[in-house]
Structure 1
Protein backbone atom coordinates (compact mmCIF):
# COMPACT_ATOMS: atom_id res chain seq x y z
CA UNK A 1 0.00 0.00 0.00
CA UNK A 2 1.36 3.38 -0.95
CA UNK A 3 1.72 5.62 2.09
CA UNK A 4 -0.14 8.88 2.64
CA UNK A 5 -2.42 10.05 -0.15
CA UNK A 6 -0.07 9.08 -3.00
CA UNK A 7 -2.40 6.26 -4.01
CA UNK A 8 -4.95 8.90 -4.98
CA UNK A 9 -2.50 10.23 -7.54
CA UNK A 10 -2.40 6.94 -9.44
CA UNK A 11 -6.21 6.90 -9.59
CA UNK A 12 -6.29 10.54 -10.65
CA UNK A 13 -3.79 9.93 -13.45
CA UNK A 14 -5.80 6.95 -14.73
CA UNK A 15 -9.03 8.98 -14.60
CA UNK A 16 -7.37 11.80 -16.56
CA UNK A 17 -6.20 9.27 -19.14
CA UNK A 18 -9.74 7.92 -19.53
CA UNK A 19 -11.16 11.44 -19.91
CA UNK A 20 -8.50 12.33 -22.50
CA UNK A 21 -9.22 9.20 -24.60
CA UNK A 22 -12.97 9.84 -24.40
CA UNK A 23 -12.46 13.43 -25.58
CA UNK A 24 -10.06 12.33 -28.34
CA UNK A 25 -12.55 9.69 -29.50
CA UNK A 26 -15.31 12.29 -29.72
CA UNK A 27 -13.20 14.93 -31.51
CA UNK A 28 -11.71 12.52 -34.04
CA UNK A 29 -14.91 10.52 -34.46
CA UNK A 30 -13.08 7.28 -33.68
CA UNK A 31 -14.73 4.42 -31.85
CA UNK A 32 -12.55 3.73 -28.80
CA UNK A 33 -15.37 2.45 -26.58
CA UNK A 34 -13.70 -0.91 -26.01
CA UNK A 35 -10.45 0.71 -24.82
CA UNK A 36 -12.40 3.12 -22.60
CA UNK A 37 -14.42 0.31 -21.03
CA UNK A 38 -11.25 -1.66 -20.33
CA UNK A 39 -9.67 1.35 -18.61
CA UNK A 40 -12.81 2.07 -16.61
CA UNK A 41 -12.96 -1.53 -15.42
CA UNK A 42 -9.30 -1.31 -14.48
CA UNK A 43 -10.02 1.90 -12.57
CA UNK A 44 -12.83 0.22 -10.61
CA UNK A 45 -10.66 -2.78 -9.72
CA UNK A 46 -7.72 -0.63 -8.57
CA UNK A 47 -9.98 1.68 -6.56
CA UNK A 48 -11.73 -1.27 -4.89
CA UNK A 49 -8.42 -2.89 -3.98
CA UNK A 50 -6.83 0.30 -2.67
CA UNK A 51 -9.68 1.36 -0.41
CA UNK A 52 -10.22 -2.18 0.86
CA UNK A 53 -6.71 -2.30 2.33
CA UNK A 54 -6.31 1.14 3.88
CA UNK A 55 -3.94 1.35 6.84
CA UNK A 56 -4.47 3.58 9.88
CA UNK A 57 -2.12 6.22 8.45
CA UNK A 58 -4.07 6.14 5.16
CA UNK A 59 -7.30 6.74 7.07
CA UNK A 60 -5.66 9.56 8.99
CA UNK A 61 -4.78 11.23 5.68
CA UNK A 62 -8.33 10.71 4.42
CA UNK A 63 -9.78 12.18 7.61
CA UNK A 64 -7.58 15.26 7.07
CA UNK A 65 -8.20 15.50 3.32
CA UNK A 66 -8.46 19.13 2.22
CA UNK A 67 -11.68 18.44 0.32
CA UNK A 68 -13.35 16.38 3.04
CA UNK A 69 -16.86 17.71 3.75
CA UNK A 70 -17.29 19.86 6.85
CA UNK A 71 -20.13 20.32 9.32
CA UNK A 72 -21.63 23.17 7.28
CA UNK A 73 -21.52 21.06 4.11
CA UNK A 74 -23.64 18.40 5.78
CA UNK A 75 -26.00 20.85 7.48
CA UNK A 76 -26.97 22.37 4.13
CA UNK A 77 -28.06 18.97 2.77
CA UNK A 78 -29.31 17.03 5.79
CA UNK A 79 -31.32 19.72 7.60
CA UNK A 80 -33.99 22.27 6.73
CA UNK A 81 -34.16 25.90 7.90
CA UNK A 82 -30.90 25.96 9.84
CA UNK A 83 -30.58 29.09 11.98
CA UNK A 84 -27.05 29.65 13.31
CA UNK A 85 -26.72 31.04 16.84
CA UNK A 86 -23.62 32.83 18.10
CA UNK A 87 -21.68 33.55 21.26
CA UNK A 88 -21.21 32.04 24.71
CA UNK A 89 -22.66 35.03 26.62
CA UNK A 90 -19.38 35.25 28.55
CA UNK A 91 -16.55 36.19 26.21
CA UNK A 92 -17.37 36.08 22.52
CA UNK A 93 -18.08 33.95 19.47
CA UNK A 94 -15.75 31.16 18.36
CA UNK A 95 -15.90 30.36 14.65
CA UNK A 96 -14.24 26.97 15.17
CA UNK A 97 -17.57 25.68 16.49
CA UNK A 98 -20.89 26.41 14.88
CA UNK A 99 -24.33 25.64 16.19
CA UNK A 100 -27.97 26.44 15.85
CA UNK A 101 -31.52 25.20 15.39
CA UNK A 102 -32.69 23.14 12.43
CA UNK A 103 -35.35 20.70 11.30
CA UNK A 104 -34.98 17.17 10.03
CA UNK A 105 -38.05 15.37 8.69
CA UNK A 106 -40.25 17.89 10.50
CA UNK A 107 -38.49 17.45 13.88
CA UNK A 108 -36.74 20.41 15.54
CA UNK A 109 -33.16 19.67 16.62
CA UNK A 110 -30.10 21.52 17.84
CA UNK A 111 -27.05 20.97 15.64
CA UNK A 112 -23.49 21.71 16.84
CA UNK A 113 -20.18 20.92 15.21
CA UNK A 114 -16.53 21.75 14.67
CA UNK A 115 -15.94 23.75 11.51
CA UNK A 116 -12.69 23.79 9.52
CA UNK A 117 -11.95 26.03 6.56
CA UNK A 118 -11.63 25.26 2.86
CA UNK A 119 -8.79 27.70 2.13
CA UNK A 120 -6.14 29.70 3.97
CA UNK A 121 -8.46 32.59 4.82
CA UNK A 122 -11.16 30.27 6.17
CA UNK A 123 -8.61 28.16 8.06
CA UNK A 124 -7.44 31.26 9.91
CA UNK A 125 -11.00 32.39 10.64
CA UNK A 126 -11.99 28.92 11.89
CA UNK A 127 -8.62 28.36 13.62
CA UNK A 128 -8.32 25.01 11.77
CA UNK A 129 -11.29 23.68 13.73
CA UNK A 130 -9.50 24.08 17.07
CA UNK A 131 -11.85 25.78 19.51
CA UNK A 132 -11.12 28.15 22.38
CA UNK A 133 -13.07 27.84 25.66
CA UNK A 134 -15.78 30.16 24.36
CA UNK A 135 -16.45 27.65 21.58
CA UNK A 136 -17.19 24.87 24.04
CA UNK A 137 -19.20 27.24 26.25
CA UNK A 138 -21.25 28.26 23.21
CA UNK A 139 -21.87 24.58 22.49
CA UNK A 140 -22.98 23.97 26.08
CA UNK A 141 -25.25 27.03 26.02
CA UNK A 142 -26.99 25.62 22.95
CA UNK A 143 -27.29 22.18 24.53
CA UNK A 144 -28.90 23.60 27.66
CA UNK A 145 -31.25 25.60 25.44
CA UNK A 146 -32.12 22.38 23.60
CA UNK A 147 -32.84 20.68 26.93
CA UNK A 148 -35.17 23.53 27.95
CA UNK A 149 -37.19 23.26 24.74
CA UNK A 150 -37.01 19.44 24.50
CA UNK A 151 -34.97 19.37 21.28
CA UNK A 152 -32.64 16.43 20.51
CA UNK A 153 -28.97 17.35 20.02
CA UNK A 154 -26.73 16.28 17.13
CA UNK A 155 -22.99 16.99 17.22
CA UNK A 156 -20.50 16.71 14.37
CA UNK A 157 -16.93 16.09 15.49
CA UNK A 158 -14.02 17.15 13.29
CA UNK A 159 -11.02 18.71 15.04
CA UNK A 160 -7.30 18.02 15.61
CA UNK A 161 -7.97 18.99 19.23
CA UNK A 162 -8.80 21.93 21.46
CA UNK A 163 -6.64 25.00 20.82
CA UNK A 164 -3.52 24.68 23.04
CA UNK A 165 -2.52 28.37 23.07
CA UNK A 166 -1.84 30.50 26.12
CA UNK A 167 -4.97 32.61 25.61
CA UNK A 168 -7.15 29.49 25.64
CA UNK A 169 -5.54 28.26 28.85
CA UNK A 170 -5.95 31.69 30.48
CA UNK A 171 -9.66 31.62 29.70
CA UNK A 172 -10.16 28.14 31.17
CA UNK A 173 -9.81 25.60 28.37
CA UNK A 174 -9.67 22.50 30.56
CA UNK A 175 -12.57 23.68 32.75
CA UNK A 176 -14.73 24.36 29.69
CA UNK A 177 -14.09 20.87 28.30
CA UNK A 178 -14.63 19.18 31.68
CA UNK A 179 -17.91 21.02 32.19
CA UNK A 180 -19.16 19.91 28.79
CA UNK A 181 -18.40 16.29 29.65
CA UNK A 182 -20.29 16.60 32.94
CA UNK A 183 -23.31 18.43 31.54
CA UNK A 184 -23.64 16.26 28.43
CA UNK A 185 -23.60 13.14 30.58
CA UNK A 186 -26.80 14.27 32.33
CA UNK A 187 -28.58 16.24 29.60
CA UNK A 188 -32.26 15.19 29.53
CA UNK A 189 -32.67 15.04 25.75
CA UNK A 190 -31.28 12.53 23.21
CA UNK A 191 -27.71 13.28 22.06
CA UNK A 192 -26.20 11.82 18.90
CA UNK A 193 -22.48 12.37 18.23
CA UNK A 194 -20.98 11.77 14.78
CA UNK A 195 -17.24 11.80 14.00
CA UNK A 196 -17.11 13.04 10.41
CA UNK A 197 -13.36 13.52 10.04
CA UNK A 198 -10.69 13.89 12.68
CA UNK A 199 -11.72 13.36 16.29
CA UNK A 200 -8.75 14.59 18.29
CA UNK A 201 -8.23 14.52 22.06
CA UNK A 202 -10.31 16.58 24.53
CA UNK A 203 -11.41 18.90 21.77
CA UNK A 204 -13.41 16.03 20.30
CA UNK A 205 -14.58 14.64 23.65
CA UNK A 206 -16.14 18.02 24.53
CA UNK A 207 -18.79 17.28 21.89
CA UNK A 208 -18.60 13.50 22.15
CA UNK A 209 -20.66 12.39 25.15
CA UNK A 210 -23.99 11.07 23.96
CA UNK A 211 -26.47 8.24 23.68
CA UNK A 212 -25.06 7.17 20.31
CA UNK A 213 -21.52 7.68 19.02
CA UNK A 214 -21.21 7.14 15.26
CA UNK A 215 -18.20 7.39 12.94
CA UNK A 216 -17.78 7.69 9.22
CA UNK A 217 -15.95 4.75 7.69
CA UNK A 218 -12.66 6.59 7.18
CA UNK A 219 -12.84 8.96 10.17
CA UNK A 220 -10.46 8.67 13.12
CA UNK A 221 -10.96 9.19 16.86
CA UNK A 222 -7.88 9.44 19.06
CA UNK A 223 -6.90 10.19 22.64
CA UNK A 224 -4.17 12.42 21.21
CA UNK A 225 -3.13 13.58 17.77
CA UNK A 226 -0.77 10.94 16.28
CA UNK A 227 1.73 13.72 15.55
CA UNK A 228 1.66 14.89 19.16
CA UNK A 229 1.82 11.30 20.44
CA UNK A 230 4.94 10.62 18.35
CA UNK A 231 6.64 13.70 19.77
CA UNK A 232 5.66 12.78 23.34
CA UNK A 233 6.47 9.06 23.24
CA UNK A 234 9.48 9.00 20.93
CA UNK A 235 10.60 12.65 20.89
CA UNK A 236 10.40 12.16 17.14
CA UNK A 237 7.47 13.41 15.05
CA UNK A 238 8.63 11.31 12.07
CA UNK A 239 7.42 8.16 13.86
CA UNK A 240 3.80 9.19 13.27
CA UNK A 241 3.15 6.09 11.10
CA UNK A 242 4.17 3.74 13.89
CA UNK A 243 2.18 5.63 16.53
CA UNK A 244 -0.93 5.85 14.35
CA UNK A 245 -1.13 2.06 14.04
CA UNK A 246 -0.58 1.60 17.79
CA UNK A 247 -3.23 4.09 18.90
CA UNK A 248 -6.07 2.06 17.31
CA UNK A 249 -7.86 5.16 16.06
CA UNK A 250 -9.91 3.86 13.13
CA UNK A 251 -13.67 3.36 13.18
CA UNK A 252 -13.12 -0.37 12.75
CA UNK A 253 -10.78 -0.52 15.79
CA UNK A 254 -13.19 1.44 17.96
CA UNK A 255 -16.19 -0.61 16.88
CA UNK A 256 -14.31 -3.75 17.92
CA UNK A 257 -13.58 -2.22 21.34
CA UNK A 258 -17.22 -1.25 21.83
CA UNK A 259 -16.45 2.47 22.04
CA UNK A 260 -18.62 3.50 19.10
CA UNK A 261 -22.08 2.25 18.18
CA UNK A 262 -22.11 2.36 14.39
CA UNK A 263 -19.91 2.88 11.34
CA UNK A 264 -21.52 4.98 8.60
CA UNK A 265 -20.27 3.90 5.16
CA UNK A 266 -18.50 6.32 2.83
CA UNK A 267 -18.62 6.48 -0.97
CA UNK A 268 -15.71 4.85 -2.81
CA UNK A 269 -12.65 7.02 -2.36
CA UNK A 270 -13.99 8.81 0.69
CA UNK A 271 -16.69 11.30 1.66
CA UNK A 272 -15.21 14.04 -0.52
CA UNK A 273 -15.95 12.02 -3.68
CA UNK A 274 -19.74 12.27 -3.31
CA UNK A 275 -21.05 14.79 -0.77
CA UNK A 276 -24.73 14.20 -1.49
CA UNK A 277 -24.44 10.43 -1.12
CA UNK A 278 -22.47 10.80 2.10
CA UNK A 279 -25.01 13.25 3.51
CA UNK A 280 -27.82 10.81 2.70
CA UNK A 281 -25.97 8.01 4.52
CA UNK A 282 -25.62 10.24 7.59
CA UNK A 283 -29.25 11.41 7.48
CA UNK A 284 -30.51 7.83 7.23
CA UNK A 285 -28.41 6.84 10.25
CA UNK A 286 -29.59 9.86 12.28
CA UNK A 287 -33.25 9.07 11.66
CA UNK A 288 -32.85 5.36 12.41
CA UNK A 289 -31.09 6.04 15.71
CA UNK A 290 -33.53 8.72 16.79
CA UNK A 291 -36.35 6.18 16.39
CA UNK A 292 -34.69 4.21 19.21
CA UNK A 293 -34.11 7.24 21.45
CA UNK A 294 -36.95 9.68 20.96
CA UNK A 295 -39.57 7.90 23.09
CA UNK A 296 -37.34 7.06 26.05
CA UNK A 297 -38.09 8.75 29.36
CA UNK A 298 -35.61 11.33 30.66
CA UNK A 299 -34.71 9.00 33.53
CA UNK A 300 -33.94 6.03 31.26
CA UNK A 301 -32.12 8.21 28.75
CA UNK A 302 -29.67 9.59 31.33
CA UNK A 303 -29.22 6.27 33.14
CA UNK A 304 -28.51 4.34 29.94
CA UNK A 305 -26.07 7.03 28.79
CA UNK A 306 -24.26 6.76 32.12
CA UNK A 307 -24.13 2.96 31.89
CA UNK A 308 -22.82 3.23 28.33
CA UNK A 309 -19.91 5.40 29.51
CA UNK A 310 -19.08 2.95 32.30
CA UNK A 311 -18.75 0.07 29.83
CA UNK A 312 -16.04 1.80 27.80
CA UNK A 313 -12.58 0.33 28.35
CA UNK A 314 -11.13 -3.08 29.09
CA UNK A 315 -8.96 -4.38 31.91
CA UNK A 316 -7.50 -7.66 33.08
CA UNK A 317 -6.86 -8.97 36.57
CA UNK A 318 -3.46 -10.57 37.20
CA UNK A 319 -2.41 -12.75 40.09
CA UNK A 320 1.05 -12.71 41.59
CA UNK A 321 2.87 -15.85 42.78
CA UNK A 322 1.47 -15.37 46.30
CA UNK A 323 -2.07 -15.26 44.80
CA UNK A 324 -2.55 -11.57 45.50
CA UNK A 325 -4.59 -9.88 42.82
CA UNK A 326 -3.46 -6.58 41.40
Structure 2
Protein backbone atom coordinates (compact mmCIF):
# COMPACT_ATOMS: atom_id res chain seq x y z
CA UNK A 1 0.00 0.00 0.00
CA UNK A 2 1.29 3.46 -0.87
CA UNK A 3 1.78 6.09 1.80
CA UNK A 4 1.02 9.81 1.51
CA UNK A 5 2.48 12.44 3.83
CA UNK A 6 0.64 15.73 4.31
CA UNK A 7 2.93 18.47 5.66
CA UNK A 8 1.26 21.46 7.32
CA UNK A 9 3.36 24.34 8.76
CA UNK A 10 1.35 26.19 11.42
CA UNK A 11 1.79 29.30 13.54
CA UNK A 12 -0.93 30.21 16.03
CA UNK A 13 -3.61 28.31 14.09
CA UNK A 14 -5.63 26.82 16.96
CA UNK A 15 -8.89 27.88 15.30
CA UNK A 16 -8.18 26.21 11.96
CA UNK A 17 -6.71 22.81 12.89
CA UNK A 18 -9.98 21.05 13.70
CA UNK A 19 -11.72 22.26 10.54
CA UNK A 20 -8.72 21.32 8.42
CA UNK A 21 -8.46 17.79 9.85
CA UNK A 22 -12.14 17.12 9.31
CA UNK A 23 -11.83 18.01 5.61
CA UNK A 24 -8.47 16.43 4.78
CA UNK A 25 -9.07 13.09 6.56
CA UNK A 26 -12.42 12.73 4.83
CA UNK A 27 -10.75 13.25 1.44
CA UNK A 28 -7.79 10.91 2.03
CA UNK A 29 -9.91 8.04 3.33
CA UNK A 30 -11.83 7.97 0.05
CA UNK A 31 -8.63 7.30 -1.95
CA UNK A 32 -8.12 3.59 -2.51
CA UNK A 33 -4.98 1.73 -1.35
CA UNK A 34 -3.50 4.73 0.39
CA UNK A 35 -2.08 4.97 3.89
CA UNK A 36 -1.38 8.46 5.24
CA UNK A 37 0.22 10.66 7.85
CA UNK A 38 -0.50 14.32 8.58
CA UNK A 39 2.53 16.18 9.94
CA UNK A 40 1.91 19.52 11.63
CA UNK A 41 5.03 21.63 12.08
CA UNK A 42 4.50 24.10 14.92
CA UNK A 43 6.72 27.06 14.08
CA UNK A 44 6.89 28.54 17.58
CA UNK A 45 3.18 29.08 18.26
CA UNK A 46 2.20 30.97 21.41
CA UNK A 47 -1.39 29.65 21.52
CA UNK A 48 -2.79 26.12 21.97
CA UNK A 49 -1.75 24.87 18.54
CA UNK A 50 0.55 22.13 19.88
CA UNK A 51 -1.92 21.02 22.54
CA UNK A 52 -4.66 20.63 19.93
CA UNK A 53 -2.37 18.54 17.71
CA UNK A 54 -1.43 16.39 20.74
CA UNK A 55 -5.11 15.76 21.37
CA UNK A 56 -5.72 14.93 17.71
CA UNK A 57 -2.81 12.47 17.77
CA UNK A 58 -4.33 10.68 20.75
CA UNK A 59 -7.52 10.18 18.71
CA UNK A 60 -5.77 9.40 15.40
CA UNK A 61 -2.12 8.18 15.48
CA UNK A 62 -1.70 9.21 11.83
CA UNK A 63 -1.66 12.84 12.99
CA UNK A 64 1.89 13.84 13.93
CA UNK A 65 3.68 16.85 15.33
CA UNK A 66 7.09 18.42 14.85
CA UNK A 67 7.45 21.31 17.28
CA UNK A 68 10.28 23.74 16.62
CA UNK A 69 12.20 25.44 19.41
CA UNK A 70 11.11 28.91 18.21
CA UNK A 71 9.74 30.68 15.17
CA UNK A 72 12.12 30.02 12.27
CA UNK A 73 9.77 31.11 9.48
CA UNK A 74 7.49 29.18 7.16
CA UNK A 75 10.24 28.08 4.75
CA UNK A 76 12.25 26.47 7.56
CA UNK A 77 9.11 24.90 9.07
CA UNK A 78 8.19 23.48 5.69
CA UNK A 79 11.69 22.02 5.36
CA UNK A 80 11.35 20.36 8.77
CA UNK A 81 8.07 18.78 7.71
CA UNK A 82 9.48 17.52 4.42
CA UNK A 83 12.42 15.93 6.21
CA UNK A 84 10.09 14.24 8.70
CA UNK A 85 7.82 12.81 5.98
CA UNK A 86 8.01 9.05 5.44
CA UNK A 87 5.54 8.71 2.57
CA UNK A 88 6.02 7.61 -1.02
CA UNK A 89 4.71 11.07 -1.87
CA UNK A 90 4.32 14.27 0.12
CA UNK A 91 1.87 17.18 -0.12
CA UNK A 92 2.76 20.46 1.63
CA UNK A 93 -0.31 22.64 2.18
CA UNK A 94 -1.74 25.41 4.36
CA UNK A 95 -4.06 24.77 7.28
CA UNK A 96 -6.40 27.66 6.44
CA UNK A 97 -8.12 25.64 3.65
CA UNK A 98 -7.11 28.12 0.97
CA UNK A 99 -5.41 25.05 -0.48
CA UNK A 100 -8.55 22.91 -1.10
CA UNK A 101 -8.08 19.39 0.37
CA UNK A 102 -10.30 17.96 -2.36
CA UNK A 103 -7.50 18.56 -4.89
CA UNK A 104 -5.32 16.00 -3.11
CA UNK A 105 -7.30 13.16 -4.70
CA UNK A 106 -6.54 14.56 -8.17
CA UNK A 107 -2.88 15.03 -7.20
CA UNK A 108 -2.65 11.37 -6.21
CA UNK A 109 -4.32 10.23 -9.43
CA UNK A 110 -1.84 12.15 -11.58
CA UNK A 111 1.07 10.92 -9.45
CA UNK A 112 -0.05 7.35 -10.03
CA UNK A 113 -0.20 8.16 -13.75
CA UNK A 114 3.55 8.83 -13.66
CA UNK A 115 4.05 12.47 -12.70
CA UNK A 116 6.67 13.26 -10.04
CA UNK A 117 5.33 16.74 -9.26
CA UNK A 118 1.69 17.82 -9.37
CA UNK A 119 1.19 21.46 -8.43
CA UNK A 120 -1.90 23.53 -7.80
CA UNK A 121 -2.17 26.64 -9.96
CA UNK A 122 -4.46 29.43 -8.81
CA UNK A 123 -6.61 30.75 -11.65
CA UNK A 124 -8.86 32.87 -9.45
CA UNK A 125 -7.55 34.96 -6.54
CA UNK A 126 -10.79 36.77 -5.78
CA UNK A 127 -10.30 36.05 -2.08
CA UNK A 128 -7.09 38.15 -2.08
CA UNK A 129 -7.06 41.92 -2.02
CA UNK A 130 -6.32 43.78 -5.22
CA UNK A 131 -2.98 44.95 -3.86
CA UNK A 132 -1.91 41.43 -2.92
CA UNK A 133 -2.94 39.77 -6.18
CA UNK A 134 -1.43 42.63 -8.20
CA UNK A 135 1.88 42.55 -6.34
CA UNK A 136 2.00 38.75 -6.68
CA UNK A 137 1.57 39.00 -10.45
CA UNK A 138 4.27 41.67 -10.61
CA UNK A 139 6.65 39.49 -8.60
CA UNK A 140 6.21 36.41 -10.81
CA UNK A 141 6.75 38.52 -13.92
CA UNK A 142 9.86 40.23 -12.48
CA UNK A 143 11.33 36.98 -11.18
CA UNK A 144 10.96 35.20 -14.51
CA UNK A 145 12.56 38.13 -16.32
CA UNK A 146 15.54 38.41 -13.99
CA UNK A 147 16.22 34.73 -13.33
CA UNK A 148 17.30 31.97 -15.69
CA UNK A 149 14.99 29.74 -13.64
CA UNK A 150 11.27 29.96 -14.41
CA UNK A 151 8.59 29.51 -11.79
CA UNK A 152 5.00 29.05 -12.86
CA UNK A 153 2.81 32.12 -12.13
CA UNK A 154 0.32 31.78 -9.28
CA UNK A 155 1.84 28.52 -8.04
CA UNK A 156 2.62 28.24 -4.33
CA UNK A 157 3.84 25.44 -2.09
CA UNK A 158 0.64 23.41 -2.56
CA UNK A 159 1.78 20.42 -4.61
CA UNK A 160 2.47 16.70 -4.54
CA UNK A 161 6.06 15.47 -4.81
CA UNK A 162 7.11 11.88 -5.35
CA UNK A 163 9.78 10.41 -3.10
CA UNK A 164 12.55 10.91 -5.73
CA UNK A 165 11.54 14.56 -6.21
CA UNK A 166 11.41 15.05 -2.42
CA UNK A 167 14.84 13.51 -1.88
CA UNK A 168 16.27 15.77 -4.58
CA UNK A 169 14.64 18.83 -2.99
CA UNK A 170 16.12 18.05 0.42
CA UNK A 171 19.63 18.09 -1.04
CA UNK A 172 19.40 21.87 -1.36
CA UNK A 173 20.58 23.09 2.05
CA UNK A 174 20.77 26.89 1.72
CA UNK A 175 19.72 28.88 4.82
CA UNK A 176 17.89 31.64 2.95
CA UNK A 177 15.20 29.36 1.60
CA UNK A 178 12.82 30.33 -1.17
CA UNK A 179 10.87 27.10 -1.57
CA UNK A 180 9.06 28.07 -4.78
CA UNK A 181 12.43 28.52 -6.45
CA UNK A 182 13.84 25.34 -4.91
CA UNK A 183 10.88 23.30 -6.14
CA UNK A 184 11.29 24.73 -9.65
CA UNK A 185 15.08 24.23 -9.69
CA UNK A 186 14.76 20.52 -8.93
CA UNK A 187 12.64 19.86 -12.01
CA UNK A 188 11.18 16.36 -12.63
CA UNK A 189 8.11 15.56 -14.70
CA UNK A 190 5.43 18.04 -13.64
CA UNK A 191 1.84 18.99 -14.34
CA UNK A 192 -0.44 21.72 -13.01
CA UNK A 193 -3.98 21.46 -11.68
CA UNK A 194 -5.96 24.75 -11.88
CA UNK A 195 -8.15 25.78 -8.97
CA UNK A 196 -9.90 28.81 -7.49
CA UNK A 197 -8.41 30.02 -4.25
CA UNK A 198 -11.07 30.34 -1.54
CA UNK A 199 -10.99 32.64 1.48
CA UNK A 200 -9.50 31.49 4.78
CA UNK A 201 -11.75 29.15 6.74
CA UNK A 202 -10.54 30.43 10.11
CA UNK A 203 -7.88 32.58 11.74
CA UNK A 204 -5.90 35.41 10.18
CA UNK A 205 -2.92 35.48 7.86
CA UNK A 206 0.53 35.77 9.45
CA UNK A 207 1.99 37.58 6.42
CA UNK A 208 1.92 41.36 6.15
CA UNK A 209 3.19 43.40 3.23
CA UNK A 210 6.58 43.99 4.85
CA UNK A 211 7.13 40.22 5.26
CA UNK A 212 5.95 39.62 1.70
CA UNK A 213 8.40 42.26 0.43
CA UNK A 214 11.31 40.60 2.26
CA UNK A 215 10.15 37.20 1.01
CA UNK A 216 10.18 38.48 -2.57
CA UNK A 217 13.65 39.97 -2.02
CA UNK A 218 14.90 36.61 -0.75
CA UNK A 219 13.51 34.94 -3.84
CA UNK A 220 15.15 37.32 -6.29
CA UNK A 221 18.56 37.28 -4.61
CA UNK A 222 18.52 33.50 -4.14
CA UNK A 223 18.02 32.65 -7.80
CA UNK A 224 19.32 35.61 -9.79
CA UNK A 225 22.54 37.64 -9.99
CA UNK A 226 21.03 40.15 -12.42
CA UNK A 227 20.60 42.81 -9.67
CA UNK A 228 24.38 42.66 -9.21
CA UNK A 229 25.21 42.54 -12.91
CA UNK A 230 22.97 45.48 -13.77
CA UNK A 231 25.25 47.87 -11.91
CA UNK A 232 28.08 47.02 -14.28
CA UNK A 233 25.92 48.38 -17.08
CA UNK A 234 24.74 51.36 -15.04
CA UNK A 235 28.35 52.21 -14.21
CA UNK A 236 29.36 51.86 -17.86
CA UNK A 237 26.55 54.15 -19.03
CA UNK A 238 27.41 56.78 -16.40
CA UNK A 239 31.11 56.55 -17.36
CA UNK A 240 30.31 57.09 -21.06
CA UNK A 241 28.05 60.05 -20.25
CA UNK A 242 30.75 61.53 -18.00
CA UNK A 243 33.39 61.11 -20.70
CA UNK A 244 31.22 62.79 -23.33
CA UNK A 245 30.40 65.64 -20.96
CA UNK A 246 34.11 66.09 -20.17
CA UNK A 247 34.99 66.24 -23.85
CA UNK A 248 32.23 68.81 -24.39
CA UNK A 249 33.50 71.03 -21.57
CA UNK A 250 37.11 70.83 -22.84
CA UNK A 251 36.05 71.78 -26.37
CA UNK A 252 33.86 74.66 -25.15
CA UNK A 253 36.70 75.97 -22.99
CA UNK A 254 39.27 75.77 -25.79
CA UNK A 255 37.03 77.33 -28.42
CA UNK A 256 34.87 79.85 -26.58
CA UNK A 257 36.06 80.00 -22.99
CA UNK A 258 33.71 79.02 -20.20
CA UNK A 259 32.28 80.64 -17.12
CA UNK A 260 32.36 78.96 -13.72
CA UNK A 261 29.57 76.28 -13.63
CA UNK A 262 26.56 76.97 -11.46
CA UNK A 263 25.92 75.53 -8.03
CA UNK A 264 22.59 73.91 -9.05
CA UNK A 265 24.04 71.78 -11.86
CA UNK A 266 26.97 70.70 -9.66
CA UNK A 267 24.68 69.60 -6.82
CA UNK A 268 22.38 67.76 -9.22
CA UNK A 269 25.30 65.67 -10.53
CA UNK A 270 26.69 64.99 -7.04
CA UNK A 271 23.32 63.92 -5.63
CA UNK A 272 22.53 61.73 -8.63
CA UNK A 273 25.84 59.90 -8.49
CA UNK A 274 25.58 59.59 -4.70
CA UNK A 275 22.15 57.99 -5.01
CA UNK A 276 23.40 55.54 -7.65
CA UNK A 277 26.34 54.55 -5.44
CA UNK A 278 24.18 54.04 -2.36
CA UNK A 279 21.65 51.89 -4.25
CA UNK A 280 24.41 49.76 -5.75
CA UNK A 281 26.08 49.34 -2.36
CA UNK A 282 22.73 48.32 -0.86
CA UNK A 283 22.23 45.58 -3.46
CA UNK A 284 25.79 44.34 -3.01
CA UNK A 285 25.14 44.33 0.75
CA UNK A 286 22.08 42.11 0.29
CA UNK A 287 24.19 39.47 -1.41
CA UNK A 288 27.08 39.82 1.06
CA UNK A 289 24.64 39.43 3.96
CA UNK A 290 23.37 36.18 2.52
CA UNK A 291 26.92 34.92 2.01
CA UNK A 292 27.65 35.78 5.64
CA UNK A 293 24.63 33.79 6.87
CA UNK A 294 25.48 30.81 4.65
CA UNK A 295 29.09 30.79 5.84
CA UNK A 296 28.00 30.22 9.45
CA UNK A 297 26.47 26.86 8.51
CA UNK A 298 23.83 27.11 11.24
CA UNK A 299 21.03 24.53 11.15
CA UNK A 300 17.92 25.58 9.25
CA UNK A 301 15.76 24.82 12.29
CA UNK A 302 15.84 23.17 15.71
CA UNK A 303 13.27 20.65 16.89
CA UNK A 304 11.94 20.81 20.43
CA UNK A 305 9.52 17.88 20.26
CA UNK A 306 8.33 15.15 17.92
CA UNK A 307 5.11 13.18 18.27
CA UNK A 308 4.21 10.17 16.10
CA UNK A 309 6.89 10.82 13.49
CA UNK A 310 7.65 7.81 11.28
CA UNK A 311 10.32 9.52 9.20
CA UNK A 312 13.58 10.93 10.49
CA UNK A 313 14.20 14.62 11.02
CA UNK A 314 17.94 15.06 10.49
CA UNK A 315 19.84 14.61 13.75
CA UNK A 316 21.82 17.89 13.72
CA UNK A 317 18.54 19.80 13.62
CA UNK A 318 17.00 18.25 16.73
CA UNK A 319 17.33 18.95 20.42
CA UNK A 320 17.05 15.54 22.10
CA UNK A 321 17.60 16.91 25.59
CA UNK A 322 14.76 19.39 25.24
CA UNK A 323 12.47 16.76 23.71
CA UNK A 324 13.21 14.38 26.57
CA UNK A 325 12.47 17.10 29.10
CA UNK A 326 9.17 17.93 27.42
CA UNK A 327 8.10 14.28 27.34
CA UNK A 328 9.13 13.81 30.96
CA UNK A 329 7.06 16.83 31.94
CA UNK A 330 3.99 15.35 30.28
Q: Please give the TM-score of this superposition, normalised by the length of structure 1.
A: 0.25
> Which structure has the greater CA radius of gyration?
2
Q: Please give the TM-score of this superposition, normalised by the length of structure 2.
A: 0.25
Q: Answer 1 or 2: higher relative contact order, Cα 8 Å, separation at least 6.
A: 2
